[in-house]
Amino acid sequence: MSTLLSVDKLEIRTPGRTLVSDISFSIAAGERIGLIGESGSGKSLTALAVLGLLPEAMRVGGSILLDGHQVIGARDRDLVPLRGASIAAVFQEPMTALDPLMRIGHQVGEVVRRRATRDGTACGREEVSQRVLALLERVALPEAHRIARAFPHEISGGQRQRAAIAMALACRPKLLIADEPTTALDVTTQMEILKLLEGLVRHEAMGLLFISHDLPVVASVATRALVMRHGRLIEEGPVATLFDQPSHPYTKSLVAAARAFDTALEMAP
Ligand SMILES: Nc1ncnc2c1ncn2[C@@H]1O[C@H](COP(=O)(O)OP(=O)(O)OP(=O)(O)O)[C@@H](O)[C@H]1O
Ligand SMILES: [Mg+2]
């Protein structure tokens, strides 16, 4: 399988601190990878580096080859075409992706139109709105017509996250980055969205970099996982191996926490 993303010795620094160091990993086309670690371990910074969206004040070292393009040091205008075609992202807070003053259908439609233009198959209004409705239905939004006409504040948080996923899918990226996309949602909605995301990514053979601090959540969508701590990678491997034979004490503690939670659930009346 061809390599979609290759990160080599990534280092991220502010003038006073090294936040991320010596991170190397790769993602093959269609591969679903999890990135786990405690709060502040550098997961989001790693994701932002791959997207070329780190704050300007940060210094970045190493190499990030995305779909054959070097991201580190690239000018923003060279990265713009990559965003969308090669890579798209879903964040914890869907309002970071959605414009509060624009109807959902319009926002998803903009992405559909841009993608079609890029493919050289520019499509008319009617075709765009058909595709928007189809996308909203694919992310299992009920009453697609109503949602398309709604403003973000007129739908629920779970529905907003589905809309943000629809926008990311409309790009048809080769790699989707999902940074804690379900953390802000209740457990039932979280499970539904994880299942949906996993199914869609698998169906489209998209690569996935899925970020979470929760090992069982990562296990439900990824086949392989990377464990980060204090800005470094401390362990990686197939999810099943990490669960069954964690080698680093931190990974062991993650597995123990997940098992304790399972046991508590089983013992609940
Ligand atoms: N803009 C910034 N300027 C300076 N330091 C930052 C900035 N953004 C993040 N950091 C620091 O970098 C470190 C890693 O942050 P990061 O957001 O990557 O953590 P994370 O693993 O995503 O955590 P969480 O699970 O809480 O989202 C933290 O110590 C954080 O305080
Ligand atoms: Mg984060």
What is the residue with the minimal CA distance to atom 2 of ligand 1? Answer: 55
Instruction: Say whether pLDDT at 269 is over 70.
Output: no
Whole-number Å distance, alpha carbon 44 to ligand 1 midpoint, is 7
Q: Start-end ranges of CATH 3.40.50.300 in the chain?
A: 1-86+173-239
Q: Give the residue, out of 41, 53, 183, with the most ligand 1 atoms within 8 A of its beta carbon, to mutate for a pocket test.
A: 41
**pLDDT for position 93:** 86
Among the bound ligands, the one closest to the CA of 37: 1
Instruction: Say whether pLDDT at 149 is over 80.
Output: yes
**pLDDT for position 1:** 65
Whole-number Å distance, alpha carbon 19 to ligand 1 midpoint, is 8
Instruction: Say whether pLDDT at 200 is over 80.
Output: yes
What is the residue with the minimal CA distance to atom 27 of ligand 1? Answer: 39
Whole-number Å distance, alpha carbon 118 to ligand 1 midpoint, is 34
What is the residue with the minimal CA distance to atom 16 of ligand 1? Answer: 42
Single-letter amino acid code for the residue at 27: I
**pLDDT for position 187:** 85
Instruction: Say whether pLDDT at 267 is over 80.
Output: no
**pLDDT tens digits, one per residue of 99-138:** 999 999 999 999 999 889 888 887 889 999 999 999 999 8
Task: For residue 47, give the ligand 1 atom closest to its CA.
Answer: 18
pLDDT category of residue 94 using cuts at 50, 70 and 90: confident
pTM score > 0.85 for this model? yes
Instruction: Say whether pLDDT at 260 is over 90.
Output: no
In whole numbers, what is the pLDDT of the chain averaged over residues? Answer: 92
Whole-number Å distance, alpha carbon 12 to ligand 1 midpoint, is 11
Query: Rounded mean pLDDT of 218-235?
Result: 96
pLDDT category of residue 262 using cuts at 50, 70 and 90: confident
Question: What would the 3-class secondary structure string for the chain be?
Answer: CCEEEEEEEEEEECCCCEEEEEEEEEEECCCEEEEEECCCCCHHHHHHHHHCCCCCCCEEEEEEEECCEECCCCCHHHHCCHHHHCEEEECCCHHHCCCCCCCHHHHHHHHHHHHHHHCCCCCCHHHHHHHHHHHHHHCCCCCHHHHHHCCHHHCCHHHHHHHHHHHHHHCCCCEEEEECCCCCCCHHHHHHHHHHHHHHHHHHCCEEEEEECCHHHHHHHCCEEEEEECCEEEEEEEHHHHHHCCCCHHHHHHHHHHHHHHHHHHHCC
> Which class in CATH covers the domain with range 1-86+173-239?
alpha beta
